[in-house]
A and B are shown apart, each in its own frame.
Chain A
Amino acid sequence: MTQPLLEVQDLHTVFATRDGTVKAVDGVSFELLAGETLGVVGESGCGKSVTALSIMRLQRPGRIVSGRVLLKGQDLTRMSEYEMREVRGREIAMIFQDPMTSLNPVYRVGWQVAEPTRLHHGWDKKRAMQSAINMLGKVGIPAPESRARDYPHQFSGGMRQRVMIAMGLTTTPEVLIADEPTTALDVTIQAQILELLRHVNREFGTATILITHNLGVVAGMCKRVVVMYAGRIVEAGPTKDVFAHPKHPYTWSLLRSIPRLDAEQHEPLKPIEGMPPNLVDLPSGCSFHPRCAFKVERCARDVPALLQVGESQRAACWVTQAGTELQGA
């Protein structure tokens, strides 16, 4: 098996709040191979963004308390801030959810897209700008040469997100982390951006981590998927398999709760019962057990580990690890 490009090993990130310590990332481990697309799925507050920020060491005011993040074998959590800056924007690039607020309003777009190459490759203004204009063209911005002189507010939301993607790719990083890149966009634009990300992945070979709460986005884009709940990974595996036969009750409930076009009109919706847990005061044992339709006694006692269930998937569930199939109305 090839050495993974990026390896997260038992990562723990916490936030100190007035009400207690929030375990935002509670023992997360996964791998990313070169050139592949990995989806990280979960509801708001499950820790997926904090995981990404932790990889970039941008998790402040949170603290990484334990675990390792290996990029080509080197532990990012042990690096000095100075070394980390070499990594950010050059080996790992990150784009964020809201393109409206993620670009600096007082600088021209071309300047902002050119900044990483000037900083990391030491290119002079002309060369960096030329490369930026090229990249803007590649992400589908028409008339890039003149558009580069415009300011962020002169672009639409979708265009701004393209600019963000261009900005991330100018240094040809090995990893691109996209944190909810389409959530703030119109549905029609969402599809375009996702297509762009797919294209980028194919053409540049950039390994992509796509973070989202939208299962549909994952289905279209990612070969493998990781499902998070309350700071932990509850299921992982090839997207096709996970969606076809989920091995964790949470994933199972999620998939079931999606309204279907071919359902009967008067069939009631099937939401997941209960509320997401309070991260300061997690339930004992499996964090999902209060809302789980399949729970047994052990679930309230012991925290399940993420183990192989079925051929290609891993799930952190006592019930499915014991062999039970998840079925229901």
Chain B
Amino acid sequence: MIGPSRVAELDMPAAGVETAAARPAQSYWNQSWERLRANRLGMAAGVLILVLAVIAVLAPVFSAVLTHYQPQTINLDQTFARPGATHLLGSDELGRDSLTRLIWGARVSLGVAFLTVALALTVGTTVGMVAGYYGGWIDDVLMRLVDTVLAIPAIFLFILMSILFRPNAVTLAAIVASVGWGSVARLVRGEVLSVKQRDFILATRSIGARDSRLMVRHLLPNVLPVLIVAASLGVGQIILIEAALDFLGLGIQPPTPSWGNMLTNAQSYFFHSGFLVAFPGITIFVTVLASNIFGNGVRDAFDPRLKG
């Protein structure tokens, strides 16, 4: 950018030059953040997720304040209570308060989802980076491994692993992540391959930087946007998968409440207590919707060209 001092030298009127220098330079991250901030719907969705996460973490506090119930307290003379004063969102077949269980269920559903994403991202990024960076036979072997993992239909694998390992929340996250890392690896490898071509990598290498340093300090920041988008969009999908597994009785077992397992027996009682089917489902829907909208917002913020 030609500064004011040079203008005099060239003896040119400043018209076009001045307007160009008016806006300050911004980093890619700043620009993306600005774009995200401008997207009101996306930001609202993100805030919602944040609120849900807080509720999940502070579940005991919220349930104590809002409902005064414990999630697993059985109260046989208050079964199937309709939503009202005693039970804000009704109670289930064992008299347990629905709202409390939904709040505590957030812990499970969100907790497993975030943990899964974290695991899948860590493993997937490492594999993808190594494969993309080194190329050659390492790339071939790793990618064949990814192909193999991705070939097995996920839910069958989950069912199989579920009966082999009898999972708790943490192992469930590991099970779901064991398939998820594959797509992440592919994604990261793709990004690395395109970034690898750029000259600054060559330049950094020529000054003798070690491979690991190159990967962490230079490749990783360029790959981060893609990862962030994948994570934001992935959380929603994983919540759905985990809820389905719980619903089938192959995930988190009762009495620990999760949004999915609150629906396992829905078929038997939705005649008379349809609200018991509605609330957990709506909760899942809203959460996943928010995650998807936020994910889309993040993606548009990083690469506005992708917008339709």
Interface residues on B, range: under 10
B14 to A, closest residue via Cβ: A290
Cβ contacts under 8 Å, B13 to chain A: 283, 290
Cβ contacts under 8 Å, A281 to chain B: 15, 19
In-complex Cβ contact of B19 among A274, A278, A283 (8 A): A278
Contact status A283-B12, CB under 8 Å: no
Contact status B19-A273, CB under 8 Å: no
Total A-B Cβ pairs within 8 A: 19
CA distance A274 to B17 in the complex (A): 9
Restricting to A276-317, which residues have a CB under 8 Å from any CB of B?
277-278, 281, 283, 290-291
Minimum C-beta distance from A232 to chain B (A): 17
Minimum C-beta distance from A313 to chain B (A): 28
Minimum C-beta distance from B305 to chain A (A): 15
Minimum C-beta distance from B22 to chain A (A): 12
Contact status B16-A278, CB under 8 Å: yes
CA distance A275 to B15 in the complex (A): 10
Contact status B16-A273, CB under 8 Å: no
CA distance A269 to B273 in the complex (A): 86
Minimum C-beta distance from B246 to chain A (A): 46
CA distance A251 to B232 in the complex (A): 56
Minimum C-beta distance from A182 to chain B (A): 30
Contact status A275-B16, CB under 8 Å: yes
CA distance A35 to B13 in the complex (A): 44
B2 to A, closest residue via Cβ: A275
Minimum C-beta distance from B225 to chain A (A): 24
Minimum C-beta distance from A280 to chain B (A): 10
Contact status A273-B12, CB under 8 Å: yes
A290 to B, closest residue via Cβ: B13
- Please tell me if B10 contacts chain A, counting CB pairs below 8 Å: yes
CA distance A278 to B12 in the complex (A): 15
Minimum C-beta distance from A277 to chain B (A): 6
Cβ contacts under 8 Å, B16 to chain A: 274-275, 277-278, 290
CA distance A305 to B308 in the complex (A): 43
Minimum C-beta distance from A215 to chain B (A): 24
Minimum C-beta distance from B19 to chain A (A): 7
Cβ contacts under 8 Å, A273 to chain B: 10, 12
Known contacts A281-B19, A290-B16, then 15 further A-B pairs from the complex at CB < 8 Å, ordered by chain A residue? A273-B10, A273-B12, A274-B12, A274-B16, A275-B16, A275-B17, A277-B15, A278-B16, A278-B19, A283-B13, A283-B15, A290-B12, A290-B13, A290-B15, A291-B12
A-B interface, 3 closest residue pairs, ranked by CB to CB distance from nearest: A290-B13, A275-B16, A274-B12
